[in-house]
């Protein structure tokens, strides 16, 4: 009898751990309400990892407000929070009250139930293009206010909402030594390329064109000191632009073929359907660096 009980307990335990093993990492990380009490560390890669000891960006500061508080994604590595403080202070030099901050990471990073593939290790952040009218928005206003696009309908140029102040703020971000790269809508990159002087290539190359990113720009920090298990993105910006500013065929492609794909003659044979690529939302704990289990378990 006792043996039978033990056996069924063992089966139950095995079943439970199998269930945890199969639980999607996004559900495990998505349920955490606060950061782990660990030394701060970005673990893994921007799109496959987690964050130990992440801290919350205060919801309102002298020069910023975090938006969409219901998402609880205003958590980042302490370096990220410092960066937001210094960049938003610089925004006041452009006559802005400060910055509206969109998603950073979940309290312990990791994959998210909705939205981004990246933003997993506390080093990515979205900064709205809106020039803040007020830094005293209520929680409700921060849920409902819309982000504003800086992209023209043609998708080839910036629109009338774009100002030199936007450019100065993004330039300040790109010149910050903590920044690895910044994702912007291709017309914003084109704007910088038109103004680019030879000596500016070292920061202009950090500004990378990407689909979306017209309601916000996305800043990605380098792996901070002390994050031994943090892996920088490959290829690096240096490898991508080979010592140049990135005002090249890639940018041109975003403004031409990407918008109007050239017509290709239909293939004779039907291509085999390619299996759907597993994305961040499919990851289980086995896909993430092993330290992430500790981050999840920690108090
Ligand atoms: Zn982003």
pLDDT band of residue 102 (cuts 50, 70, 90) is very high
Query: Across all residues in the chain, what is the average pLDDT?
Result: 90
pLDDT at 202: 87
User: How many angstroms is it from 220 CA to the middle of ligand 1?
Assistant: 9
**Distance between Cα 125 and ligand 1 center (Å):** 6
Q: What does the pLDDT average to over 18-44?
A: 90
The pLDDT value recorded for residue 237 is 83
What's phi and psi for 64, nearest 5 deg?
A: -155, 160
Which candidate, 229, 207, 216, 186, places its Cα nearest to that of 77? 229
Rounded (10°) CA dihedral 177, 241, 169, 104: -70
Per-residue pLDDT band for 51 (boundaries 50, 70, 90) equals very high
For residues 112 and 105, give the distance between their C-alpha atoms in angstroms, rounded to a whole number. Answer: 9
Question: Looking at 78-92, 102-116, 186-200, which range is the least confident one?
Answer: 186-200
Percent pLDDT > 70 in the chain is: 89
> β-strand 64-66 against 48-52: which pairing, if any?
unpaired
Residue 202 C-alpha to ligand 1 middle, in angstroms?
22
Task: Kindly give the distance from the C-alpha atom of residue 263 to the centroid of ligand 1, in angstroms, as a whole number.
Answer: 31
Q: How far is the CA of 87 from the centre of ligand 1 (A)?
A: 17
CA distances from 154 to 206, 248, 259, 262 (A): 25, 20, 9, 17
pLDDT reading at 10 higher than 70: no
**Helix, strand, coil share (%) of the chain residues, nearest 5:** 35, 15, 50
**How would residue 223 be classed by pLDDT, with cut points 50, 70 and 90?**
very high
Query: Could you give the 3-state DSSP secondary structure of residue 128?
Result: strand
Strand 64-66 and strand 99-101: the pairing is parallel
Instruction: Find the 118 Cα to ligand 1 centroid distance in Å.
Output: 7
Asked if the model's pLDDT at residue 16 lies above 50, the reply is no
Q: Which domains does the chain have, with CATH numbers?
A: 24-260+284-297 (3.30.1380.10)
What spacing in Å lies between the alpha carbon of 103 and ligand 1's midpoint?
A: 7
Burial class (CB in 10 A: 0-12, 13-18, 19+), 30: middle
Using the predicted structure, report yes or no on whether residue 63 has a pLDDT greater than 90: yes
- How far does residue 1's CA lie from ligand 1's centre (Å)? 57
Once rounded to an integer, what is the mean pLDDT over residues 34-56?
98
The predicted structure's pLDDT at residue 7: 46
Q: How far is the CA of 184 from the centre of ligand 1 (A)?
A: 10
What predicted TM-score, i.e. pTM, was given to this entire model? 0.89
């Amino acid at each position: 009898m006792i043996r039978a009980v033990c056996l069924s307990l063992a089966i139950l335990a095995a079943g439970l751990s199998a269930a945890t093993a199969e639980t999607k990492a996004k559900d495990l990380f998505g349920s955490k309400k606060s950061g782990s009490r660990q030394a701060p560390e970005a673990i893994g890669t921007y799109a496959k990892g987690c964050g130990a000891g992440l801290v919350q960006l205060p919801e309102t500061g002298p020069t910023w407000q975090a938006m969409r508080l219901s998402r609880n994604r205003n958590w980042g590595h302490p370096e990220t929070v410092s960066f937001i403080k210094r960049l938003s202070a610089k925004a006041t030099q452009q006559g802005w009250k400060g910055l509206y901050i969109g998603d950073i990471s979940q309290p312990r990073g990791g994959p998210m139930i909705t939205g981004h593939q990246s933003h997993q290790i506390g080093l990515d952040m979205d900064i709205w293009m809106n020039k803040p009218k007020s830094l005293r928005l209520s929680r409700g206003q921060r849920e409902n206010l819309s982000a504003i696009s800086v992209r023209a309908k043609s998708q080839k140029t910036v629109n009338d909402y774009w100002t030199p102040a936007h450019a100065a703020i993004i330039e300040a971000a790109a010149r910050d030594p903590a920044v690895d790269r910044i994702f912007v809508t291709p017309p914003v990159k084109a704007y910088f390329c038109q103004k680019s002087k030879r000596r500016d290539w070292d920061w202009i190359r950090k500004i990378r064109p990407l689909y979306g990113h017209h309601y916000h720009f996305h800043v990605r920090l380098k792996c901070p000191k002390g994050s031994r298990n943090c892996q920088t993105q490959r290829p690096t910006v240096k490898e991508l632009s080979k010592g140049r500013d990135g005002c090249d065929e890639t940018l041109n492609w975003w403004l031409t073929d990407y918008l109007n794909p050239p017509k290709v003659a239909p293939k004779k044979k039907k291509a085999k359907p390619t299996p759907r690529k597993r994305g961040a939302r499919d990851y289980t704990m086995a896909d993430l660096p092993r330290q992430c289990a500790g981050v999840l378990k920690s108090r």
